[in-house]
Amino acid sequence: MNTSSNAKNAIILSGKMLSPGMGSGKAFIYRDLLTRYDEFYDIEEPDTDDELERFSLAVAKVSDDLSILVSRVSREMDKNLSDIFSAHITMIKDPALTAEVKHEITENLVSAGSAVRTVFRRWERRFQRMEMNIAKHKADDIRDLLRRLIASLAGVRGHSLEHLPEGSILIARRLLPSDTIYLARKNAVGAILEYGGLGSHAALFAREIGLPCITGVQNAVELIPSGGATLVDANAAEIIIHPSLDQQHHFQLKTQALIHDKHQARLNAQQVAISKQGKKIAVYANVACVADTQKAVDNGADGIGLYRIEQVFLGHQTPPDVWTLVNEIRIALAPAKHLPITIRLLDAGADKPLPFMASLRETNPALGQRGIRFLQAYPDLLQTQLEALLQLSTEFNLKILVPMVTLIDDIKAVKQQLLKLCAKLALEAPKLGAMIETPAAALSLQAIAKYADFMSFGTNDLTQYMFAADRENAAVERYFDDVHPAIFRLFEIAHQDLPEVKFSVCGELAGRTDSIEKLINNGVTILSVAPPLVPSIKQKVRQTP
């Protein structure tokens, strides 16, 4: 974070964009009230039954509140976001977790609140120490549940953000999932956080509700005065506290220009995107559910560039069979039935463990059995998916994408299995593509192209492996740079090796407007982005020389 002053009393802070946009208002300092609840005391042995009962009632109350929240979020926001709170219900009823709390009460003779705090903090630290990104997000989930339980035990029914003043810029150390629900009421016009990664639940909610948000602002809670006039330019990751009149005027002009650009992009969203040099660029969308797909279609997506099939698997306690996959994918993609669709095979392993399989014991899961490596280790899972996708290929214009292709044998084995199944079922083989997510794959495209009909670059993992830097690890954040010249050098080499091949990009880089010209000049003809970004990316393509 940088701090500077360029006008009397005006302070400029910088961080990292979590969710785009601009907002101005008065700073509202949000401090977690968890430690203020006086529920931590010792008990006598005869009191244990009472404390166990209090704990059970608190779990039941929180579960009921979460069930109501699931319905509300699913109805008002997005099914994917409501799934976060469905998972919270499962977690709070976890037998191992509840048993540990009860043991703490009975063996150490402490209050229910003290036991909950001790056990949940222990679990939070366990998840924080894990290398998998999904485990790190679960640490936030555990902390969120801890706060809910402690509040319930203390008889606190409200939330300090319930009465957030209209037009507030929220300042917080971090946001947990239940915090962001109150921000959906639009009282907040921006948010500044000390902590929070791009893949965090807070980031997902902020982007969903269109809340401009900047993270990585050190000591924001102490530096920014409560009630102080604050400008948030998340697009530039810049904050101005106590802005001058000139700074306010410049901010207003920039905001008006942004609103105008968004309006124009929306008006032209259903039209094709052609650069000034006459290059037609298809702008697709990345989706995981029917709500995503509908948004993609409404926003003018030319196709679905990435359907994440793992959403189906993560929703089942046993491996889904062929017809379960067919039915759930059919529903998820129905709004885009008239469009080209790319479905990625199960990308499990590393930070995406499956609920019906024991976690793999790997020292470094990011470098272990993930993507196609995982599927080759569990061929039944691959067979089921291929059969389901072949069935769907008779209804949809679909292509199949193989995740984490690194060696030629990765794509070759899938191609052979697909052709064998096609012969057995008397069906025409859909196009098969390789997801390029490692430098080794990017430098081996000529060999991979013998078995792949198309190539799609996943730049999130490509950047991670290029710089040996986990994008969720704040300690190496400066190394994770998806616009570094080395990344574009890989695209340049790929284009030189296969000048006639049209590449697609489905990572976050595809949604960065300042990188579109470089991508187009290196053979990229499909950009696949989050559904809300489709209009603005199309507009940027039209402005590209």
Q: What is the 3-state secondary structure (H, E, C) of 313-363?
A: HHCCCCCCCHHHHHHHHHHHHHHHCCCEEEEECCCCECCECCCCCCCCCCC
For residues 193 and 202, the answer to whether their CB atoms sit within 8 Å is yes
Beta bridge partners, 170, equal 28, 191
* CB-based contact 371:403 (threshold 8 Å): yes
Quick one: pLDDT at residue 7?
Answer: 47
Residue with the larger pLDDT of the pair 14 and 86: 14
pLDDT in tens, 110-129: 888 888 888 888 888 777 66
Mean pLDDT for 151-155 is 80
Mean pLDDT computed over every residue of the chain = 86
pLDDT at 76: 65
Cα separation values, 389 from 44, 280, 344, 395, 400, Å:
61, 29, 10, 10, 8
Nearest-angstrom CA–CA distance, 441 and 147: 45
Tell me how far CA of residue 242 lies from CA of 9, 170, 209, 516, in angstroms: 6, 15, 26, 35
pLDDT digits (tens, 9 = 90+) for 54-85: 899 989 988 888 888 777 777 666 656 677 78
pLDDT level of residue 131 (50, 70, 90 thresholds): very low
How confident is the model over 193-206, as pLDDT tens digits?
988 776 666 777 78
Please write the tens of the pLDDT for every residue from 462-484.
Answer: 998 999 887 656 667 678 888 89
pLDDT in tens, 492-541: 999 999 999 989 999 889 988 889 999 999 999 999 998 888 999 999 99
Bridge partners (DSSP) listed for residue 11: 241
pLDDT, position 345: 96
For 416-465, the pLDDT digits (tens) are 999 999 999 999 999 999 999 999 999 999 999 999 999 999 998 899 89
- Helix extents (H) in 395-454: 408-425, 439-442, 445-448
How do strand 10-14 and strand 273-274 relate by DSSP bridges? Answer: unpaired
Laid out side by side, the sheet with 229-233 consists of 3-7, 10-14, 238-241, 229-233, 22-30, 168-172, 188-193, 213-215, 16-19
Residue type, 348: A
* Model confidence pLDDT, tens digit, residues 214-231: 998 988 998 899 999 999
Residue type for position 477:
E
Q: Can you tell me the distance from the alpha carbon of 120 to that of 65, in angstroms, rounded to the nearest whole number?
A: 19
Say whether pLDDT at 363 is over 80.
Answer: no
Residue pair 147/176 in contact by the 8 Å Cβ criterion: yes
Give the separation between CA 46 and CA 35, rounded to whole angstroms.
Answer: 27
